[in-house]
Amino acid sequence: MTAKYVPAYCDPENEVRGAKFDRNLSTKEIAARIRAEIKADTSKGRLPAGLRVSVRYESFAGGSAIRVHVTQVPDGFRILNAERVAFEREHPSEWTDLPRYTAEASALLAAVSVYAKAYHRDNSDLQSDYFDVNFYGGDASFSWELVSEERKGQ
């Protein structure tokens, strides 16, 4: 007997929900909770002192998104991998697999991304171009101003 075909948008086994997902929360409310949690964890020492994170939400015709950007890091914290920056200066047109960020910076982005992922629900199927999320985005990134400022200093 063959399993019956069920598209992803009907398949509850495909859905991934964060631990704090609540269908009654709006994107605006989720962004506010993420901000509050990051602020609390920074003051408790779970995140580095001197860290600033911008959490913004946006609504549009196709849904909504949460944008998480690290805008300030502690003094002496290195974001960019110096070896990659040097390679890109010497070979501006060549590709490299050197990591863009330092291991510490990558770990920080992963730690900050956890806050949004806790509220995220995703039942998308990329193969059929079907997207079903409570909000888009959520993965943390460094602000371009912060990256640009460090790149100038290297």
Q: Where are the domains of the chain?
A: 20-153
pLDDT tens digits, 65-97:
999 999 999 999 999 999 999 999 999 999 999
* Pairing mode of beta strands 121-122, 136-142: unpaired
Q: What CA–CA distance (Å, rounded) separates 54 from 26?
A: 18
Q: What CA–CA distance (Å, rounded) separates 39 from 45?
A: 10
CA gyration radius, the chain: 19
Residue 106: pLDDT band with limits 50, 70, 90? very high
- Greater confidence, 142 or 154? 142
Whether the predicted pLDDT of 148 surpasses 70:
yes
